[in-house]
Amino acid sequence: MSARGLPLLLAAVLLAACAGSGAEREGTLYGRLGGAAGIEAIVDRFLYHLADNERSLPLFRNTDIERFREKFIEHLCELSDGPCAYSGDSMAATHRGMDITRAQFNSIVETLQQALADTDTPVGARNALLERLAALYREVAEQ
Ligand code: HEM
């Protein structure tokens, strides 16, 4: 390669990298999570890891897991600005009376983080999703 070739090549690589992150920033969080297929995979991995969540699993003892899966997918889709309208019960009504503690809330966040890691969700999208979920803390816990 000529002496001029290398800087040109580097500039091209840097430009391509910028274009990539720009596109990601412009897209919705839904898109960055991988759309419908991405969110379904995240929820399926969440359910897989929930089995090992000793702190919170007992609360799901009487839960219809098929319904939970469907509603959780729908909720994450809407929360991430995807093309869905959540049709389940409100967060407050769903979790009222469960006496969910901060430790239990954190354990569910950890289970979700395991799912996000399994699905290779980009770190920026992971953090953006966790931020939106953290904002729901008062509707879900310590009620
Ligand atoms: C921001 C965090 C959370 C979100 C977005 C969320 C979302 C949801 C959704 C969408 C449903 C389905 C509602 C329906 O069937 O209409 C649900 C149900 C449920 N959630 Fe959460 N949840 C969160 C945190 C938690 C935590 C921390 C726990 C326990 C430690 C928990 C325990 C449950 C249980 C046990 C059900 C099933 C209720 C039933 O059997 O009817 N959730 N949640």
Q: Ligand 1: which atom is nearest the Cα of residue 89?
A: 16
Q: How far is the CA of 18 from the centre of ligand 1 (A)?
A: 38
- Assess contact for 130 and 109: CB atoms under 8 A: yes
Q: What confidence category does residue 47 fall into, taking pLDDT thresholds of 50, 70 and 90?
A: very high
Q: Residues enclosing ligand 1, CB less than 6 A? A: 56, 59-60, 62-63, 67-68, 71-72, 75, 88-89, 94-95, 100, 104-105, 108, 133, 136, 140
Q: What confidence category does residue 21 fall into, taking pLDDT thresholds of 50, 70 and 90?
A: very low
Amino acid 142: pLDDT:
81
Mean per-residue pLDDT, 15-38: 68
Q: For the purposes of burial, counting CB atoms within 10 Å of the CB of 46, is it exposed (0-12), middle (13-18) or buried (19 or more)?
A: buried
Q: How many helices (H) and strands (E) does the chain have?
A: 8, 0
Residue among 49, 108, 112, 130 to mutate when testing ligand 1 (max atoms within 8 A of CB): 108
Angle at 73 between CA 70 and CA 76, to 5 degrees: 145
| DSSP string covering 55-124 | TTGGGGTT--HHHHHHHHHHHHHHHTT-S----S--HHHHHTTS---HHHHHHHHHHHHHHHHHTT--HH
Which DSSP category does 2 fall into? -
Residue 75 among known ligand-binding residues: no
pLDDT in tens, 76-127: 999 999 999 999 999 999 999 999 999 999 999 999 999 999 999 999 999 9
CATH code: domain 29-140 is: 1.10.490.10
| In the chain, domain spans | 29-140
Amino acid 2: pLDDT:
56
Query: Does the pLDDT value for residue 36 go beyond 60?
Result: yes
Q: How many CA atoms lie within 13 A of 25 on its CB side?
A: 6
Q: Which residues, in sequence order, are CB contacts of 4 under 8 Å at separation 6+?
A: none
Amino acid 109: pLDDT:
98
Please state, rounded to an integer, the average pLDDT across all residues of the chain: 88
